[in-house]
Structure formats: C-alpha cells, structure tokens
Amino acid sequence: MDQPAPTPPPVPAAASASSSAVPSFQRDLWRWCEEQMGRREFLLKGGWAFFWLFLGGWLLSNLRFLFPNVLYEPTLAFKAGKPEDYPMGISEKWKKTQRAWVVRTDQGFYCFWARCTHLGCTPNWFEAEGRFKCPCHGSNFNKSGDVIAGPAPKPLWRCAVQLADDGQLLIDKARLENRPGPREQGEFFLPYQNA
C-alpha cells in the first residue's frame, strides 16, 4: 500500500527522442525538485501551508478592522470672541470648555492647547509663579510653554490663531506647533496689526 514515491510513467520512445528539445539543465532542475520533495509531499505541505497562511492572515487582517475609517469626533476649531476683550497675560476663559489658553502679549496673541505633552493631562496655570503645572506627573512649563521641570519631553503645543471675518479670534486645535521659532510666526501668532 505504502509506496515510497510513485515511479514516473515510462517515457514513450517518441517522447524520449524529442526530449532533446528540452534543455538538459531544465531536466536536471526537475529531477532535483522531485528528489527534494515528491508530488504527494508537496501537495500535503502546500495544503497545510495554505491553511495556516489563510487562517493567520485572516486573523491578522482583523487588526485592521479595529481601526475605524470614519470618526464621529467634535471639531477642533472654535471662535474665541473679540481680541480686544482679552486682558494682558494668560486667559483661562476657554480652559473648561475648549481646553485652551489664549495669551495676549505686547506684540499680539497666541493660544496654547491645554494638554500636557507628557501624557495628556490638563495642566493648571499658577499666575503667581508664572508656571503651568501638570497634576498627573508633575511637569512644569513656563509662560512660553517650555518645559522647566518634570518629565514632559517637549514644550506645550500652540494652536493656529486667525481673525475670522466677524472680528472674532478663530482658534484651530488641529494645527499645532511647538518649536521655538516656527511657533512664533505664521498662523501660530496673531500680531496686533492683523488683529
């Protein structure tokens, strides 16, 4: 019953005569393949390989299933009132509703996203010390958002600020910048002459 490897059918004389048409290295390769793995073994291993590949691939592909394509999330832009209504310094007006601080300086306006760059808690502003302090792991930031103590790796993010047509500040928390230099220009800083 258990035959080791099926012997190939005898090659007809005519075929063997014409076999000179097949280059010899191809015949060698074929023979080598058959020696490595017979037809049955090939089919068996191939079948199992396909089974496991399919099962594993399907299971893994479900990882992609966990990443939604459509998000139902609130917009990150909001209107923050007239620029002239802000006093000098850091305004906490929008912290509890929009998680942002609007800052008015001698030159103009900028806006912090009130989210610690360490692990995402909301820091608190301590006017007397001129520091933002985070309640979760103790990061401290100064008035320009730079880290002065604690584990936070980078400065606070600043949001894009522009003037809407109705004269209100329009703040977009989706466009962020925190590198010294770029964060003081362009859309991240609104000088008085534009306000």
d(CA 85, CA 91): 10
Decide if residue 77 touches another protein (CB under 8 A): no
Report residue 64 CA to chain centroid gap.
Answer: 14
Decide if residue 160 touches another protein (CB under 8 A): no
Alpha carbon distances (Å) from 60 to 43, 45, 57, 111, 125: 25, 22, 5, 42, 45
Decide if residue 135 touches another protein (CB under 8 A): yes
Query: How many Å is the Cα radius of gyration of the chain?
Result: 35
Decide if residue 96 touches another protein (CB under 8 A): yes
Decide if residue 181 touches another protein (CB under 8 A): no
Helices and strands in the chain, H and E counts: 4, 11
Give yes or no for a contact between 102 and 93, defined as CB atoms under 8 angstroms apart: yes
Decide if residue 158 touches another protein (CB under 8 A): no
Q: Which listed residue (83, 86, 95, 101) binds another protein by CB under 8 A?
A: 95
Give the chain's end-to-end CA distance (angstroms, integer).
93
Measured from the CB atom, is 136 or 195 closer to another protein?
136
Decide if residue 98 touches another protein (CB under 8 A): yes
Nearest distance from C-beta of residue 68 to another protein, angstroms: 6
Q: Which listed residue (137, 164, 182, 185) binds another protein by CB under 8 A?
A: 137
> Which of the ranges 33-41, 84-92, 124-132, 157-165 carries the binding residues for another protein, by CB under 8 A?
124-132
